[in-house]
Structure 1
Amino acid sequence: MHRRLCLLLTALFLLESTVLPWILPVAWQSKVLVSPHFSLVIVLFIGLFANRHTALLYGLFFGMLNDIIHFSPMLGPVAFSMGLTGYLAGLMNGRLYSSIVVSMLVIALGNLSYEMIIFGLYRLFRVTHLDFQWAFFHQMLPSMLINLLFALAVYVPLRKMFESHAISSSAAEE
């Protein structure tokens, strides 16, 4: 299970940082800043369907990788926010009825929280001077919508993967 998650997260990390910036239409890039965070979506799914501590570890690792590879102005804000949102999504595991609507709501709120935490940290340390309203409507909302579309596309396969792992691990314990 962990091997498949590591391979999936690594492939998505490479995809979102190499191929997807070329696929996004040029017209979008002049009006809005869309940044796909597919590895964050998977970390949120890990929190929802597996374990909050596992989501925290994956979020910290792939967030730090994101900080290092993408030349972040500071080391750690992406790792902190990805780990925290994965952990918070994991707090919903077992507390709410698990349906696609609830999962998409948690993914959307997790993605917005991720973007707002990074924006808040960058404003706190004066890395950015953008207005929150402009950043919300031109960066955070479009990014959340793209990530929500991706989450919707991978919901069924990921849910089946997590459920099959839960069934096989419970059968192994008996």
Structure 2
Amino acid sequence: MVRNSLWLILFSLLILEGSLIHWLIPDSWQQSVRISSNFMLIIILYIGLYLNRHSALLYGLGFGLLHDFVYFGHILGVYSFGFGLVGYIAGLLPRRQTNLIFTTLMTMGVGVLIFEIIKFGINRLFNIVTVNFQFAFTHIMLPSVLFNMLFALAVYIPMRKLMEALQGQGSRAEH
């Protein structure tokens, strides 16, 4: 039952990202910067940090592809590739300090930044975006990283407890 909660959380965040999140960002911010909420990526990063890299890769590929289909961009597979890669990279980090909030939040911030750079790079490669990297970094990537780090901070305690419960469930199943 606990394992199914990850699917439910990620699916509900998929729905919320397209419907309610735009109401949370003030209109004055939306005129000067573009903030993309990648809340599913935050949960995938938690999966990579607390469970394992293979689960994060599979959740990232699956829900990234679902994100690509639901919110069809110009190219299919950008979110799937980015979510899977960043989740896998987060799973490669050493596990000795995953209980510290600072290291977890910095991992979330760097993960979202890597994803934003991947997304910008692929879109720039196929001439979908024409802005330069400096403008994209200051007006799109950094605000998105800060906004997503606020979400990561807000869900830190519940996600850590859920991941610890999943770790305990996995270790009981092995014995």
TM range (shorter): over 0.9
- Give the Cα separation in 2 of the matches to 1:66 and 1:166: 27
- Give the Cα separation in 1 of the matches to 2:145 and 2:104: 14
Q: Which runs of 5+ in 2 are unaligned?
A: none
Match of 2:31 in 1: 30
Q: How large is the Cα RMSD of the aligned pairs?
A: 1.2
Match of 2:70 in 1: 69
Taking structure 2 as the reference length, the TM-score comes to 0.94
- Give the Cα separation in 1 of the matches to 2:23 and 2:154: 20
1:135-162 Cα deviation digits (max 9, x unpaired): 1110010011010000011111111111
On the 8 A contact 2:61/2:84 being kept in 1, the answer is yes
Number of residue-to-residue matches in the alignment? 173
Match of 2:82 in 1: 81
Match of 1:52 in 2: 53
Match of 1:9 in 2: 10
Identity of aligned residues (%): 45
1:43-87 Cα deviation digits (max 9, x unpaired): 000000001011011111111111111121011111101110000
Match of 1:97 in 2: 97
Q: Which runs of 5+ in 1 are unaligned?
A: none
Taking CA–CA contacts closer than 8 Å with sequence separation of 6 or more, which of the two structures ends up with the larger relative contact order? 2
Match of 1:124 in 2: 125
The amino acid that maps onto 1:24 is I
Taking structure 1 as the reference length, the TM-score comes to 0.95
On the 8 A contact 2:3/2:166 being kept in 1, the answer is no
Q: How does 1:134-153 map to 2 (within 5 A)?
A: 134-153=135-154
